[in-house]
Every structure is written in C-alpha cells, then in structure tokens.
Amino acid sequence: MGPFIEVVLGGLLAGVLYSLVALGFVLIFKASGVFNFAQGAMVLFAALSLVRLMSGELSAVHYWGAAAVLGVAVGYVLLLFWRRARPAAAPGRGASWGLIGVFGLIGAALAALHGTAGWSGWVAIPATAAIMGLLAVAIERLVLRPLVNQEPIILFMATIGITFFIDGFGQTIWGSEIYTLDLGIPKDPMFLLESVFEGGILVNKLDIFAAAIAGVLVAVLAVFFQKTRIGRALRAVADDHQAAQSVGIPLNQIWIIVWTVAGFVALVAGIVWGSALGVQFSIALVALKALPVLILGGFTSVPGAIIGGLIIGMGEKLAEVYLGPVLGGGIENWFAYMLALIVLLFRPQGLFGERIIERI
Amino acid sequence: MQRTRPVGDVLLKVDDITLSFGGVQALSGVSFDIRKHEIRAIIGPNGAGKSSMLNVINGFYHPQQGQITFKGQTRKQMRPHEAAAQGIARTFQNIALFRGMSTLDNIMTGRLLKMRSNFLFQLAWTGPAEQEETRHREFVEHIIDFLEIQSIRKTPVGQLPYGLQKRVELGRALAAEPELLLLDEPMAGMNVEEKEDMCRFILDVNDEFGTTIALIEHDMGVVMDLSDRVVVLDYGRKIADGTPDHVRGEQKVIDAYLGVSH
Amino acid sequence: MAISPGTTATANAPLTEAGYRPAWADTFPKLLRFQAMARGERAASREKTYGIWQSWTWGQVAGNVHDLACGLHVMGLGRGDKIAIVGDNRPRLYWTMVAAQSLGAVPVPVYQDAVAEEMRFVLDHAEIRFAVAEDQEQVDKLLEIKPRCPLLEHIVYEDPRGLRHYDHAVLSSYDQVQQNGRDFAAGNPGFLEQEVDKGKGSDVAVMLYTSGTTGQSKGCMLSFDNLVITAENGARFDRLTADDEVLAYLPMAWVGDHIFSFAEAYVAGFCVACPESGATVLNDLRELGPTFFFAPPRIFENLLTTVMIRMEDAGALKRGMFHFFMRVARRSGSRIMDGQPVSLTDRLLYALGRYLVYEPLKNTLGFSRVRICYTAGEAIGPDMFEFYRSLGMNMKQLYGSTEASVFIAMQADGQVKRDTVGPPAPQVEIKLTEDGEVLFKSPGVFLEYYKNPQATAETKTADGWVRTGDAGYFDADGQLKIIDRAKDVGKLKDGSLFAPKYIENKLKFFPNIREAVAFGAGRDHVCAFINIDMTAVGDWAERRNIPYGSYQELAARPEVYDLIRGNIEEVNRDLAKDAHMSSSQVRRFLILPKELDADDGELTRTRKVRRRFIGERYETLVEALFSERDHIDMQMEVRYEDGRTGAIRGRVRIDQAKTFAPEGKPEAAAAAAAGGRKAA
C-alpha cells in the first residue's frame, strides 16, 4: 500500500505543476477566446528573468533596465490608487507620464547604486512581475490591438509568433544556458506517515511547497473572478466584446490585465518549475503538457485546469510504474496525450467545460 | 401625449458625418440633432446607414469627417467605453448579451461603470464593497420589476426566448442610467404582443426616467406611434427630417421606400 | 391600530368548539382584531417585491386595513355598497376585502384575466361603485368599461406605474387612500371599531361570481357565517395551525382561494404569501416551501411535465437512478404512507430513495414542507396521483363548489382513493336523487344568487338542499364518486350510458392530450376532438426530428395522429372492461388545428371545456366525424389576445381507432343506493 500511495502522491504533486501552466492558458482563453500558444514561452521567460536577475552575472544595463521597469510599475500602480481615491486631485495625462518616468529613473538610479551584484528574491520577483506586466502591455499594443475583431485562428497564429519572439528575445538578453534557481525553497525529501506504513511515504518538500502555492493561487484567482468588478468585466469581455464595450468596459485595459495576470501565473509556474528542474529551454516544451490538461479539464474552467492537471500527473506516474513493465518504458511521454484523445472522443467540451448548446 | 419632462435643448448633435469602409460610402455628410427627453427615430431602407450612424454615435466607428457634440462637448473620435462613461448606452440589432451569465448578472454588468469601491476591498468582499453591491443590486431589482422579468432573474440568458433576451438587453442598457439610449431595432423579430410590450417599455423609460432615446426601427407603425421626430436616411444620406407626419408626406421618403431608382 | 376591546371582544374570551376563535369573532374584521391581539407579532402576509420577501405581522395588517377602511369611508364607501377587487394575488388586495367588510361593504373579487366585456357584466350586475385595481392593465380595462357602468365612481390603484398621466378625477392611489384614512382617523378615534362591531355573522361577506359552464355568471352571496364556520371546520379537519404557510396564487375571485388563502388563514392565524408575479409562481413555491397546498390537477400536471422533460435531458446515471427509485416508490410509497405492510427490502430502498431522489425532487418542486395537499376541480390522472403520493406527499381529493363555500366531500388522511372524492365533509349532508344527482346541505350553503331569484330557486330546494348538477354515487367505503355533470350524462342511440367528461378525463390523463371533447349523445357511437399538449408532443417530435413550425402543423403530422391513436386505443381497452362504458369507446377522432381557448369562449376561465359551444362552433367537423369521410376542409375565425381576429384554414384528418369487445361484467350500480348519508 505504501508504495502505491507514494506513486499517487508523487503523481498528484507533479500534476500541480501542469495545472499551474494550464491555468495561464485558461485565463487568457476565458477572457479573450484566444488560445495563447505563448504561455509556455512566458513561463520560460519569467523563470529566466528571475534567475538571471538574482545571479549577478549580467551587465549593469540589465539591472538598470529591470529596475526602471519596476519603478515604472510601482509609479503606475500608485497613480492608479491616487486616481481612484481622489479623481479631482490626480495629475493630468502629461504630468502622469512625467511622474511615471521619474519613478523609472529612481528605480534605475537605485540599481546603479546597488551595482551589479545579484538581487535578492524580494526585489527580483517584483521586478520580474513588472517585466511580465510590461510584456503584456507590449503584446496588447503591438499584436492584439491591430488584430482586433479578427478570427480566433488569426490571433492563435499571432501567439505562435509571440512564442518564437519571446523564446529568442529572452535567451538573447538573459542567456541560454541551464541555470539553477534557488529561492531557498527546501528541496530535500521527507517521509510521511512512518507510523502507518513501513518506511513511510517519500515526498519532496518542494512538491508540497508547489502544491501550496498552486492552492493559494487558485483561491486568489477564484475570488478575483467571482467577486471583483474587474472579474465581472473579464467575464463580460469573454462573452461578448461589443456588448462589453457598450457598457463601458475598456477592452484594451482588460486585455492588458488578463495578459498581466497570465504573466504572473507564468512567473509562479516558472519559479516552481525552475526550482525543480533548473531554468532551461525544456521548460517551454514541458509546458506543452498543459494541452492535454486543458482538453481534459475544459478550456474555460479554472477548477478544470487544476483537476485535469492532477489527473494527468497521477495517471502518468501510475501508468509508468504499473503499466511500464508490461508495455515498456516511456509511457510518461505519451500517456497524457492518449488520455486527452479519449476525452476528446467522448466529451469534447472536457470534464468541466461549458457544454456547447446552440439554440435556434 | 402629455409629457412629464418637455423636450429640451439639444443633447447630441452630429455634424456632417462621413464614413466609408474601403471604397464603400456608408454615410455621407449626415447632420441632425437629438434633443433632451425626446424619442428620435432613425429610419430608412436596408443599407441606408442607420446602424452605422448608431455605431458612430457610440464610438464603434470613427468617421473620416464630421464631428459629434454631446452635452456641449465636441469630439471627433471617441471609443465605445468612453461614450458609455459619458452616458450613452445601447442595445444591438443582433442581441449582444453575455450568454453565460444570468439575467441578473447581465443587468448588473450594466452597473459596472457606477461601481467605485476599491479593488482591494472587493477582493476581500467586505465593508464598502459589499454595501455598494447591495445598493446596485437594489437598483437592478427595480429595473427587473420595471421590465417585468422577475421570473427569469436567475436564468442564463442563452436559454431565453428571443423576445425576453431583447428585454434583458434593454435592462442592461438602463442599468447604466444613460442620458442617451440608442436602440438598434428593438422590435426586430418579435410577435405582435412582444412588440406592444416593448413599445410600452420604451415609452415608460422615456416618461419615467426622462431618458432621451434614439431608435432604429423597421415597423413604420411603431415609429409613427413612438417618435417625436424622425430622420430618414437613404444610401448614407439624410433625405428628410421632422415630425412623423411631416416625414411621411415627403416625396423623397416615399420614393426611397418604394425603391424609385436614383 | 388602536384596538378597543369591546365588552366581550377580548383575546381571552373562551374559544368555540373547534378551538380556533372566540365566539365574538364571527366576521373577518373581527377575526383580524382577534389575530392582532392573539398573535400581533407573527407574520400574516408575505409578498416578494424587488426580489426580496417582505412580510407584515397581524398587527401591521390590522393597521393597514384600519387606515384603508377609513380612507374608503372618506371616499364614500358605506354599508351595503359593493366594491370590486381586480388583480393578481396581492396582500393589499386581500386587505381591501377586510377593509370593505369593516365598513359593512361587500367585496366582489373579479377574475383578473377577464376580458373587458366579462368584467363589465359583473360590475354592472353587482352595481359596483368602487373598484380597487392592481395596476395599469386592470385600470385600463376598468376605464374602458366605465362609460357602460354608470354606477362606477372611484377606481383605486395599487401600482402607480404608467398611470401618472391618467385623469385622476376618478383614480386615486392606494397609498393616498390610506393617508386620507390616517388623517380621518386622527380626528375620529374609535370610528372604525364601532363600524366593525356593527357587523354580524349573518351579513353578506363576499360575492363570488361563478364562471359557469353555460350562460352568464351568477353572483353567489356568501355570509360570514358560511365562510367562517366552513373555514373553521376545514382547518380542524386538517389540523391547521398558525405555523402553517400557504402560497396564494389561484384567482382571488375563485372560492377555493377565498377559503384556503383567506378565510382559513384568518381563522387559524397562519401566514399567506403572494408570489412576485404570475410567471414566478414555481420559483416562489420553491423558495417558500408551503406546508398546505391546494391546486387543480393541471398545476400538478405542469409540474410533472417539467420534471419529466428535465429528466430526459439529465445524464444517464441520474436518469437511471430516477427511474429506478420511482419504480420503488410506485411499488411501496403510498403503502408506506397508509401504513400497509411492505417488505423490508422495499422499506430500505424507499428510505435510500428518499435521500437520493424523493426529497431533492420535492425540494425542487417546492413541496419539501407540504404536510397536506389537495387537488380538486377536475379528476386527476391515476399516474399523476400515484406519482405525488409515492413521493410521500399527502395528496388528497376533495369535492366542493362555490355554493357550499367549498367543502362538500373530502378525504381524510390515510383514507385516500384515486377515483373518489371522499365521504361528506364535516357538518355536510349529502343525498343522491333518482338520476344520480348529488345534493347537499351544510353550514356553508350560500344565501342566494344576487338579483337572480330564479336561479336561486333552481339550485336551492325548498327544504334547503342544494343541487350540484353533478352525477355520482357512493362506493362501498362510503366515499363519493363523481362521474360527470348530471345534465351532460346522455345516452347513445342504443340506450347505453354516455358520460362525456368521464371519457375526456380518461383521455386527458395522457400527457400528450391537453383537452378532449367527446360527442355521442343520441348517436351510434362516440367520436372525439383532441387538443394535443404542445409541450409534451412538441418535445416528443423534437426528439424524433419531426419538423413543425406551429401548433397547427404539429397537430396535422401523421406521426402525431399515430401517437394519439395509441392513447385512444388504450382508453378504449380500459372502457371495454366497464360494462356501463363499453359502448362509449371512441371510434373516430380528429386533432383540432387550434388550441381551445377561453378567449374564444371554448373554455371557461377555469379551463373547463364548453362542450355545447364547441359542438356548435365546429359543427362541420362534428358532422364529418360521424360520417365516413377521412378528412374535412375547414376555415374559421380566431381572436388573438390583442383583440384582433385572424383566420385558420386547412385540411383536418379524421382517423379511426380500434375498439374492443366488452369483457367485464356489469358492476352493481352503486348509484342506485341513493339516499341521505350523514357524516359522523
């Protein structure tokens, strides 16, 4: 019994990692109907940014730039709060830009003072988040806005383009080797339930940490979607662009928010994946595992992404251990896709997806 | 009919609007105004540019030429969400509802612009955010009562029959407490009874809330009954403007509707 | 409200034998005073507005009624005046009845869906001076007929919406009337209490216009004694208490609603809730969960149809579970409720089913708290009756009429039969005439028909018996069984019995058949018109990809004819078993291309078919049915709801149905065992 539970638990924890990536896909798909092929690239990009900013091996320009981005983001958020709290007293357009610029300069200046030593995680993580936000703004401005009202397939093609760009761009500015990400998350294995089973159950602390992070993330996202004005606006945009605009929802801002949130999710996934596997190009490929997860869980369901990930993670491990000796090894590589194919045959909307009913 | 609020000053003025897509001229040099508290109809044969006109007013289309003055402010371009923030709400010819949401949620979405409480409070779902939600819900319940759609409050709108969907769409537009309400064929595809209901709602909205209404409609009887003034478009040009009786008598209008060649 | 207890009018006065009220509380205004004293803080009325249930305590209701009554007095309403009440079930409209009664005026509730002409008849005949209307729709109707009702002086409206620009010379708002009442009461303390004290049990309490299957309606006058004593008997029979809860959703002008949602509530002190609107009843029912529920069979039918359709759409597991446990329930549900022996396995399965299926289902239907539920007005289908009872709902039948203040016969808990209506109700005597007509005598027997001595004399015999016009007999258990209207029971050419309603009801028990009209009096055999049920048959057709665009098209589909023929043949097989009825098997039938409609006069407002009228209106179709033709071309005018008329034309198919050889032996005609039977 012990080994079986160990396999299941290990599978579930691996599944959490898949879920994290799948979540990013679901967010963007829900809000804009776009299947964002670049989600995997974003995970890699976020992980690379983080690990390199912490490394202390980059040129000064890198640090100045990252710090400037962080400064701009902080300035922007502060301005937002100012506007909402006291709309009358808030500065005008020009002054706002100026203010944001000043924040950027302050950031760069602080970075210059700090020198080229690696940053601590407390600075590097917000900086990476800010970079993901900037990336979202750039994607909205340069790709989505010109393609507004186009067919989903065109937007999908555009995200493939974005994928290649981010992959190349990330490796150009951050480097393309294998880096070790160490945020101080404990990685050593531990034994559970030793009193119940002989030898207990072996789990990795990192996996438990990842599961906890995923849980918190899902809870926050759920509240965000269900309870906030922005969440309601997101659902509206997902349903009908025109109608959403007509009730006063600014489409562009919503897209920026969605891509930023997807970027944050990518960052979280990047941290966890990077800690587990090291930051390397293969992260972008492992992200493809999110596809079967989505097919299983449904493209529009946040809980679906989580449960889909868990099922696939667990299924893979069980298949590898129990079917492997019969069918030969390597089941882990194709099992998820096989499962997705079966789901497609019987339940094309996924386990949790909205049933597509067309009424005439 | 008696009016609680008499027709007032000009609320919206479109001036020399010209709009073309590629080589196709949708609107050329159209000017007219809409006065406060009036019901203004825009009519014309198919392809006359009526819907384009509404799309220009609420910012979906940006005209190549001409300007729009709303509440005394002149602008050349405005984006739809900005128009909404200024007090322009609308419905669509081919119903644009949030199909996955219930009637209540759809109409609540119409209140988004009125919601002010801090994002963090909303996230925590306490204090001001909760009070605000309750306040808006109350307002929305009045709309639900007004439109007599209590029985479908919790029904996902995708499951509703067409006539009710139109009503929910009107409700969502009303939730924004608009100053100008644009209705794109509010009665298209309805049966006689549904049309009568919708007419009554439009008149009641105009009367109870004093909302200025611009509507596109094909049913001539409805237009003549409802509207204070009518503007007639044909091939993207204005061919007549005035009271229903006046417009009906215009030779150009008769020609346009009978399809006399140009 | 300032309650000035009279000498005997105290809450502590000894209660009557039934144990509900002190003897001094013999009118509704006095009962209200009693309830306000006895349970002033408990909820009396509820109404859902703006999505929230609002409630009023007995004390608040008394206050509201007081103000309104004073306001109406200021407007000139006085003793003997008639006041019309027009609208859906609203607490304020119920209060208006008591307010009018406080002043000695007589409320006349009018069916809210009556067309203007029907309303004019009632207002004119009842010499109405005052009308209280729910909203613009009803006010419009009243204003339309006002020129032809010269006596009508004042219209009070409850909901001001859309009425701002109306001429307020005749209109006043409910709120304004109440305000006037408060102002008046300030200067005349104790006025209303004196007025209320003047009322006595023998006064006319209400006039209810019966819809009547033939001719103009009659104003049935009921006294406070009629209603209060009958309600008290009914409440005691079912052990109603102040903890019960009722949803008032049936027309206020109907005696059933008057007893169950008004009189019994004032006697027993329970709370009556009003739905948000006519369309939300099912929802409100679910939210409220009444404990006492009353409905004609068609409401139960609609509920069952929705359940069945939803089940067809459900997943295989859910559907399988539903059907399995419904089989269990059918086998043992009623037996368990009636305390009959059931095997242990079935008991266990039933307990499991209760948890998995029955309780959730009852909850969705809004019946999870129902303690007692009655069906009446029409015969209920065997399947349906079994369905609800097997879920563990205490569904019973009763037989009543306006002239009896409802109760004539009713079933007691545990003694329920599907095809009877129970033994005589408390204090009711029943006797049967030679022709099988049911006569009764009770404390609820009406005073008279207003301004119609002839009709009164026809209905009420010199020695106090009331003719029901229904034919029936007592079965071996002493339960009354109603077969048809006495005058409708005819003979076929061969002299055998022809009870059209009996046949029609059997047909209507099939969910596919909404209405049926059987013809056969004086003919060789029986033929029938069928109205299919658009929901059930439409759904059936969609599942089979049978295209149709309208009722007319669906009704003409050969597949639908086959479906209906199957149902008819099943009825024939059943009829063949009954010696009295075996010659009444339906030989030929057609499906009407139009739904029978009350607006066309084909149905009464309570949806009973007007057989004679239909026979005349569709004369050509009837003749074709009895000829050898296999189709008939028809054309006819129809009236739409907005008053416009249109034409329906088309070819109507006539189809044959198989008949069966008589099997059973003649039963001993229990109807012959006529004679008075007195309830214990």
Asked if residue C205 belongs to a domain, the reply is yes
Task: Return the structure tokens found at A229.
Answer: 């004005």
* B245 CB within 8 Å of a chain C CB: no
Please state which of the ranges B2-11, B226-235, C36-45, C502-511 shows the lowest mean pLDDT: B2-11
**What is the nearest CA distance from C52 to chain B, expressed in angstroms?**
9
Mean pLDDT of C460-489: 86
Handedness of CA C258, C262, C265, C266 (dihedral sign): negative
Size of interface A-B (CB pairs under 8 A): 92
Q: Touch between chain C and chain B (3+ CB pairs, < 8 Å)?
A: yes
Nearest CA in chain B to C167: B2
CA distance B238 to chain A (A): 26
Return all residues near C117 (Cβ < 8 A) that are at least 6 apart. C145
The alpha-carbon gap from A238 to the nearest alpha carbon of chain B, in Å, equals 8
In a domain, C469, yes or no: no
pLDDT category at C578 given cuts 50, 70, 90 is low
Cβ-defined contact of A232 to B108 (cutoff 8 Å): yes
State the nearest Cα–Cα gap between B149 and chain C, in angstroms: 9
B interface with A, Cβ–Cβ below 8 Å = 58, 60, 79-81, 84-85, 89-90, 92, 96-101, 105, 108-110, 112-113, 115-119, 122-123, 125, 129, 158-159, 172-173, 175-176
Owning domain of residue C197: 28-290
Residues in C lying within 8 Å of B, measured between beta carbons: 48-52, 161-162, 164-165, 276-277, 279-280, 283, 640-642, 644
Contacts of B260 (CB under 8 A, 6+ apart): none
C108 in Cβ contact with C85 (< 8 Å) = yes
Q: Does B142 touch chain C (CB under 8 A)?
A: yes
User: How close does chain C come to B43, measured CA to CA in Å?
Assistant: 26
Question: Is A86 an interface residue toward B (CB < 8 Å)?
Answer: no
Q: Which residue has the higher pLDDT, A232 or C554?
A: C554
Cα A94 to chain center, whole Å?
A: 33
The pLDDT of residue A198 = 66
CB nearest A247 (choices: B100, B117, B172): B172
| Least CB–CB distance from A224: residue in B113, B123, B129 | B123
Q: How far is the C-alpha of C218 from the C-alpha of C64, rounded, in Å?
A: 32
Domains of chain A, residue spans: 2-56+157-192+200-346
Residue C579, pLDDT > 70, answer: no
**pLDDT at residue number A354:** 58
Does residue B148 belong to the interface with chain C, where contact is any CB pair within 8 Å?
yes
Q: What SS3 class is residue C172? A: strand
Q: How many Å lie between the alpha carbon of A111 and the closest alpha carbon of chain B?
A: 30
Q: How many beta carbons lie within 10 A of that of residue C215, not counting itself?
A: 7
Using a CB-CB cut-off of 8 Å, the residues of chain B touching A84 are 116, 118-119
Check CB contact under 8 Å for C277 and B142: no
- Cβ atoms within 10 A of the Cβ of B81, count? 23
Q: Is the pLDDT of residue C678 over 50?
A: no
Q: Which residues in A229-251 are b (16+ Cβ under 10 Å) and which e? A: bbbbbbbbbbbbbebbbbbbbbb
How far apart CA C527 and CA C492 sit, in angstroms, is 12
Residue A78 forms contact with B (CB below 8 Å): no
Ranges of residues in chain A whose predicted pLDDT is under 70? 1-2, 193-194, 196-200, 353-360
Q: Is-contact C509 C381, C-beta < 8 A?
A: yes
Size of interface B-C (CB pairs under 8 A): 41
Q: Other CB atoms closer than 10 Å to residue C323's CB: what's the count?
A: 12
Which pLDDT does position B174 carry in this prediction? Answer: 95
Q: How do residues C60-93 score in pLDDT, each as one tens digit?
A: 999 999 999 999 999 999 999 999 999 999 999 9
Give the C-alpha separation, C505 to C157, whole Å. 41
Minimal Cβ distance to B150: which of C280, C641, C644: C280
Q: Which residue of B has its CA nearest to A30?
A: B100
Return the CATH number at C46: 3.40.50.980
SS3 C652: strand
* C58/C64 Cα distance (integer angstroms): 10
Task: Give B125→chain A minimum CA distance, Å.
Answer: 7
Task: Tell me whether residues B192 and C165 touch, CB distance under 8 A.
Answer: no
Residue C9 pLDDT: 62
Cβ of residue A354 closer than 8 Å to a chain B Cβ: yes
Cα separation values, B115 from A43, B131, B169, B186, C591, Å: 34, 11, 19, 27, 57
Between C115 and B5, residue with greater pLDDT: C115
Contacts of A85 in chain B (CB under 8 A): 118
Residue C493 is predicted with a pLDDT of: 86
User: Considering CB atoms only, which of B92, B116, B158 is closest to A242?
Assistant: B92
DSSP state of A118: P
Q: How far lies C396's CA from each of C257, C294, C393, C413, in Å?
A: 17, 10, 9, 8
Residue C156 has pLDDT above 90, yes or no: yes
C279 secondary structure, DSSP code: G
CA B84 to chain C, closest CA, distance in angstroms equals 26
Whether A and C touch (3+ CB pairs < 8 Å), yes or no: no
Instruction: Check B145 against C640: CB less than 8 A apart.
Output: no
Query: In whole angstroms, how far apart are CA C633 and each of B140, C279, C467, C553?
Result: 52, 37, 42, 15
Measure in Å the smallest separation between the Cα of C242 and chain B Cα atoms.
29
DSSP state of C33: H
Range scoring the smallest mean pLDDT among B138-142, B189-193, C2-6, C367-371? C2-6
Q: Does residue C412 lie in a domain region?
A: no
Asked whether residue C203 is assigned to any structural domain, the reply reads: yes
What is the SS3 assignment for C480?
strand
Contact C400, C376 (CB under 8 A): yes
Q: Which CATH number applies to B1-87+178-262? A: 3.40.50.300
Per-residue pLDDT of chain B (262 residues; tens, 9 = 90+): 456 778 888 999 999 999 998 888 899 999 999 999 999 999 988 888 899 999 999 998 889 999 999 998 888 778 888 899 899 999 998 889 988 889 999 999 998 887 765 554 555 555 667 788 888 999 999 999 999 999 899 888 988 888 899 999 999 999 999 999 999 999 888 888 888 889 989 998 998 888 999 999 888 888 888 999 999 999 899 999 999 989 888 888 888 876 665 4
How far is B174 from B172, CA to CA, in rounded Å?
5
C148 pLDDT more than 70: yes
**Chain C touched by B235 (CB under 8 Å):** no
Residue with tokens 């531990």: A190
Domain count, chain C: 2
Report the percentage of chain C scoring pLDDT > 70.
94
Amino acid letter at B1?
M
Cβ contacts (< 8 Å) between A246 and chain B: which residues? 58, 80, 84, 89-90, 92, 96, 173
Q: Do B81 and A233 touch (CB under 8 A)?
A: no
pLDDT class of C240 with cuts at 50, 70, 90 = very high
Domain boundaries, chain B: 1-87+178-262, 98-171
Give the separation between CA C536 and CA C196, rounded to whole angstroms: 52
Phi first, then psi, for residue B219 (nearest 5°) are -70, 110
Residues in B closer than 8 angstroms to A359, CB to CB, are 158-159
- Mean pLDDT for chain C? 87
* CB spacing of B150 vs C640 below 8 angstroms: no
Contacts of residue C522, Cβ cutoff 8 Å, sequence gap at least 6: C490, C491, C492, C493
Residue to substitute from B119, B130, B166, B172, interface A, most A β-carbons within 10 A = B119
Helix (H) or strand (E) holding B243: none
